[in-house]
A and B are shown apart, each in its own frame.
Chain A
Amino acid sequence: MKSYAEINSRIESGKAVVLTAEEIIDYVERKGLEEAAEEVDVVTTATFGPMCSSGCFLNFGHSQPRIRITQAWIDDVPAYCGVAAVDVYLGATELRRGDPANTYYPGEFRFGGGHVIEKLVAGEKLELHGLSYGTDDYPRREVRTTFTIKDLNQAVMVNPRNCYQNYNAAINCSDRPIFTYLGQLKPNGQNVSYSSAGQLSPLLNDPLYETIGIGTKVWLAGAQGHVYAEGTQHSPTCQRGANDVPTEGAGTLALTANMKEMKSEFVRGASLRGYGVSLALGIGIPIPILNPRVLKRTTVRDRDILAPLIDYSSDYPNRTGKVLCRLSYEELKRGEVEVEGRKVEASSMSSYAKARQIAQLLAEEIRRGDFLLAPPIRRLPLKQSASGLKIRERQR
């Protein structure tokens, strides 16, 4: 048994033993659970993939004379202005003004909110265009200027939902190609697409949220941020395997961090053909090895994590709840799965290679004593599910 304080003091003295969620599997097999739990202080988990529920608050500072911005565009991408005078929220999936979207199907969605966020973190120059109706105290009615992240008072990433604990694998059973947030799916079930780091993914290594909770410190694209709430659609009441690992999408995390400290390599605008714009983010979360039980959870393997295979041509859009079968991440990562007796090519929308890199980077930061852990101030809800939207007839 170890406490957060003990683990942090070992980190501060540069003596912490840190392994990634991939490395820990063999380590525990070699050493045994009890001995490994004594030796290992932290296991690092990570993920990298498109996460639509992302965005950021920006504060531009006040111009002379002042403006109370009511409409704003950054590099022609609209930002939400229904907050204070020079605060805006820029969402990852926002399209650029004039983007034809899917008018010429499948749309290309070359540039949008996610790309603006990438440019911002990369330190590139962006253009702000703001409009206002003018008031006595904020008389200016238009502003047009360029800026970089350095010019902003605050640039804070605030993501309502990241780190989905497990996710669907998608297939297309129709006879035409379809374009989804999991990529292009060829007709007649010719390919399967999935999106999870599997055995490296944060919440799959802590299936019952014993260490990852509100207040947990996270590595968000290189910045030290934290979990500020349960993520939207957090639905821990779900089907779980014998290892308590969900066999469908379940828990989620709401994350925040200072964008000025981020690395652009881990903040990438994504153009998903026929679907829209998104933002791919790199996230690392350390798991403190408080006891053998917590350690055991981190030894989960790809073969023990199952994803539901869903037909994105009909069952997903119509929300029928039908699952064709369940596929392990071991099969999925092999690049070929068997669906109804047929061999089907599988590929990923999230990057396992990048997740590995992030787990290593975080492990190194902790070993160097540069990243201390924070105990959660509140546990994530363990019992709740996400309900659907009821379409009610209008009362006359």
Chain B
Amino acid sequence: MSTKKLLLYFPKSETEKPIVYHLVKDYNLIINIFRAKVTPEEYGYLVLDVTGTEEDIRRGMDFVRTFNVQIDEAQKGVRWEISKCTMCGNCIPHCPTKALHISDRSTMEVAFDSSLCIECLSCLQNCPYGACSSIF
């Protein structure tokens, strides 16, 4: 079993198909949805963890692609721009998973581990400098 964090982009026409249902039912995948924006007549985004055997994940993703859904393993829904970050650390107590953290207490520099990010968006609300943003 392995877990992958994925960002799915739904073109306008595909927002009303119960894709997640089929991933669970037909491909034995455990789905943990962090954040979704799926609006009828519009494009949509889904950020989720899929857990299953490598084979099931591969088959499930092939199924998803048949709906013209784009799968991005690298891109996340939340971005942290180091050039805008002043490294104050005000975000840190508000990040529930420690995705944002102080990497070294002697330099007090802030770092972002996007694999830990569950896209709760509290960093967006707490960063005074707009260093964290959401792509949707």
- Return the CB mask of A328-369 against B: 1 if under 8 Å, else 0: 000001110000000001111111111010000000000000
For A333, the chain B residues whose CB sits under 8 A away are: 105, 108
A186 near B128: Cβ-Cβ < 8 Å: no
Which size bracket describes the interface of A in this complex? 20 to 34
Query: Beyond A270-B128, A273-B126: 17 further Cβ-contacts under 8 Å?
Result: A48-B86, A50-B128, A190-B93, A193-B90, A193-B93, A334-B105, A335-B102, A347-B89, A347-B90, A347-B91, A349-B88, A352-B87, A352-B108, A353-B86, A353-B87, A353-B109, A353-B110
Write 26 A-B pairs (CB below 8 A) sorted by A numbering: A50-B128, A184-B125, A184-B126, A193-B93, A268-B86, A270-B129, A271-B129, A272-B128, A273-B126, A278-B128, A280-B129, A334-B105, A335-B92, A335-B102, A346-B93, A347-B88, A348-B108, A349-B88, A349-B90, A351-B88, A351-B108, A353-B86, A353-B87, A353-B109, A354-B88, A356-B107
Q: Name A's interface SS.
A: strand
A348 near B128: Cβ-Cβ < 8 Å: no
- Return the CB mask of B85-119 against A: 1 if under 8 Å, else 0: 01111111110000000100101111000000000
Number of interface residues, chain B, beta carbon within 8 A:
20
For A190, the chain B residues whose CB sits under 8 A away are: 93
Of chain A, the residue at the smallest CB distance from B107 is A353
A239 to B123, CA, bound (A): 36
B130, CB-defined interface residue at 8 Å: yes
A273 near B125: Cβ-Cβ < 8 Å: yes
Of chain B, the residue at the smallest CB distance from A48 is B86
A313, CB-defined interface residue at 8 Å: no
A91, CB-defined interface residue at 8 Å: no
A291 to B88, CA, bound (A): 34
A258 to B7, CA, bound (A): 47
A191 to B102, CA, bound (A): 16
Of chain A, the residue at the smallest CB distance from B83 is A265
Q: Could you say which of A280, A334, A347, A354 contacts B128, with CB atoms under 8 Å apart? A: A280
A349 to B102, CA, bound (A): 14
Q: Would you give the shortest CB distance from A194 to chain B, in whole angstroms?
A: 10
A160, CB-defined interface residue at 8 Å: no
Q: Would you give the shortest CB distance from B64 to chain A, in whole angstroms?
A: 35
A49, CB-defined interface residue at 8 Å: yes
Q: Would you give the shortest CB distance from B54 to chain A, in whole angstroms?
A: 38
A271 to B124, CA, bound (A): 11
Of chain A, the residue at the smallest CB distance from B92 is A347
Q: Would you give the shortest CB distance from B78 to chain A, in whole angstroms?
A: 17
A370 to B96, CA, bound (A): 46
- Return the CB mask of B16-52 against A: 1 if under 8 Å, else 0: 0000000000000000000000000000000000000
A183 to B130, CA, bound (A): 14
B86 near A351: Cβ-Cβ < 8 Å: yes
A352 to B87, CA, bound (A): 8
B87 near A351: Cβ-Cβ < 8 Å: yes
Q: Could you say which of B88, B109, B126 contacts A348, with CB atoms under 8 Å apart? A: B88
B107 near A348: Cβ-Cβ < 8 Å: no
Q: Could you say which of A48, A186, A334, A356 contacts B93, with CB atoms under 8 Å apart? A: A186
A129 to B126, CA, bound (A): 32
For A184, the chain B residues whose CB sits under 8 A away are: 94, 125-126
A271 to B128, CA, bound (A): 5
For B125, the chain A residues whose CB sits under 8 A away are: 184, 273
For B102, the chain A residues whose CB sits under 8 A away are: 335
